[in-house]
Amino acid sequence: MNTPSNRLAYKPLRHIKERIIEAGLFLAAFMSVATTFAIVAILVYESIPLFKVVSLWTFLTDTQWTPLFDDAHYGIMPLVAGTMVTTAVALAVAIPMGTIIAIYLSEFASHKVRESIKPVLELLGAVPTVVYGYFALIFVTPLLQKLMPELSGFNMLSAGLVMGIMIVPYVSSVSEDAMRAVPMHIREGSYAMGSTRFQTATRVVVPGAFSGIAAAYILGISRAVGETMIVAVAAGMQPNFTLNPLEPAATISSYIVQVALGDLPHGSIGYQTIFAAGLTLMLMTLVFNVIGYWLSRKFREVY
């Protein structure tokens, strides 16, 4: 009974319910954090046998990666170089194209055009990457060979270009969201000063959306660094310490699938190398994400 004297009394049931809900939510958040830590822990733990045989210094400075040969070398740099080159080629495609598409969709396209282009773009991101890989290998490479006859059948250029196409929708959709979040009254201010649409887009909207656009680029980089199938299929899988995109090479991720799918015995040094490679990949992605986080903090929009 709620008599006037007890209507303000503490209601334990309400607070117990709150606690249970809170615990459930915490558990969900905790799971994803725990999984991340577990992955890192396993990578570190499984890499230890390798680093007992190979010093960290050798791992970082040796210019050959031949862990499966009799004359084994354990220098990660060829794989890092392959990853960097394919990523750079991909970004050279994805960043300009993605940004231009985002500007068009956000500032120029009519509602109708935007609504019909966006699903098609998103489809690009939904194509399985192995399909892109074969597209690069049996379509783009022969096309490039017509221009550059000396180009080898497996090469980083073709893989990088196709990877760039794959990443375009990631860059464009996140950039477009960021640009559309720039409030209309800021745009109106620019138009009222007598600027054209293009001036408004490039001088006001893009700077205003900078942190979101930076986040889009970082997302694109992370995608490119981790991409596996396209490079595994089209770039060849020979570790090759070169920065020349016309040559074949292996990337960190393509090396990992190559070994993981092979029949190396568990516990052999060759097998353990994939964990060290995985750890390297994870650290690289982490660095890009930290840069991205820092950029978007530094240039955060304040409206």
Partner 1 sequence: MTEKETILKAEARDLSFYYGQAKALKNISLPLYDKKVTALIGPSGCGKSTFLRCFNRMHDLYPNNHYEGEIVLHPDNVNVLSDKVDPIEVRMRISMVFQKPNPFPKSIYENVAYGLRVRGINKKSILDEKVEEALTNAALWNEAKDRLQDLAFNLSGGQQQRLCIARALAIDPEIMLFDEPTSALDPIATASIEELMDELKSRFSILIVTHNMQQAARVSDYTAFLYLGELIEYNETKKIFTNPDRKETEDYITGRFG
List of residues contacting partner 1 (CB under 8 A): 110, 183, 185-196, 199, 203-204, 207-208, 210, 301-303
- Residue 208 C-beta: closest distance to partner 1, Å: 4
How many CA atoms, within 13 angstroms, populate the side-chain half-sphere of residue 135? 16
177 or 301: whose CB is closer to partner 1? 301
Nearest CA among 105, 89, 123, 121 for reference residue 175: 105
Which two structure tokens, joined as six digits, stand for 81?
């170089």
φ, ψ at 86 (rounded to 5°)? -65, -40
H/E/C letters for each residue in 22-43? HHHHHHHHHHHHHHHHHHHHHH
Query: What's the rounded Cα separation, in Å, for the pair 136 and 254?
Result: 15
**Of 28 and 192, CB closest to partner 1:** 192
Contact indicator for 67, 275 with CB cutoff of 8 Å: no
Question: Closer to partner 1 at the Cβ: 182 or 237?
Answer: 182
At closest approach, how far in Å is the CB of 278 from partner 1?
40
- The distance of closest approach from Cβ of residue 198 to partner 1 in the complex, given in angstroms and rounded to an integer, is 11
Nearer to partner 1, 63 or 116 (CB): 116
Helices (H) and strands (E) in the chain, counts: 14, 0
Work out how close the CB of 72 gets to partner 1 at its nearest, in angstroms, rounded to a whole number. Answer: 54
Min dist CB 207 to partner 1, Å, is 5
Q: Which is nearer to partner 1, 166 or 205 (CB)?
A: 205
In 3-state terms, what secondary structure has residue 300? Answer: coil
Min separation Cβ 214 and partner 1, Å: 13
Rank residues 133 and 208 by Cβ distance to partner 1 and give the closer one. Answer: 208
**Is residue 175 within 8 Å of 213, Cβ to Cβ?**
yes
